[in-house]
Amino acid sequence: MNNPVTIRQGRKEDLTRVLELVKELAEFERAPQEVTNTVALMEEDGFGPNPVYGFFVAENENGIVGLSLYYFRYSTWKGRRLYLEDIIVTESERGSGIGKLLFERTMKKVLDDNCTGMMWQVLDWNEPAIKFYQKYGARLDDEWINCHLESTQIEKLIRRFQ
């Protein structure tokens, strides 16, 4: 890494750049239309009275070039777990070791906060990411199916069942 990188806890003033990175990831994942989050929502959800997520940023002379966003979940089988929502490295900085630094800092957070482990998802076609996680000995499940309901769907369902 020729350009020194600092990994630090994210701050409220980072959110504009964080959302830009999120949108960049959505483009990469072929789903830019799915991003409906806003800086205002991220501020409320991450820095309000009951924060629901945290994040680390990777910063170099070009500014914030990477992000690791996480939150905590509870497993009935395992207890407190850290859920890694996303690791994002801006395209021009990929392959420089920034993802490794972010991932390893996030793993340290697991231990710092006495979690029993860490979980995340990876798209089945994202071979570079899959290979990256395999280097760490991560178990990649193919048994579980992701399920989603959007709030607009839930509203319709609630009205229908009342």
What digits encode the pLDDT tens for the residues 101-151?
A: 999 999 999 999 999 999 999 999 999 999 999 999 999 998 888 898 998
pLDDT at 162: 84
Q: Active-site residues: which are they?
A: 133
DSSP annotation of 45? H
CA dist., res. 65 & res. 42, Å (int): 18
β strands within the chain, DSSP E? 6-9, 54-60, 63-75, 79-89, 118-119
Q: pTM for the complete prediction?
A: 0.91
Whether the CA torsion 48, 52, 107, 20 is positive or negative: it is negative
pLDDT at 144: 84
List, in order of start, the domains of the chain with CATH numbers: 6-161 (3.40.630.30)
CA dist., res. 23 & res. 31, Å (int): 9
pLDDT at 48: 94
pLDDT at 86: 97
CA dist., res. 68 & res. 10, Å (int): 9
Residue 1 has pLDDT above 60, yes or no: no
For 73, 91, 131, the CA distances from 18, given in Å and listed in that order, are 22, 14, 25
135 Cα distance to chain centroid: 19
pLDDT at 46: 98
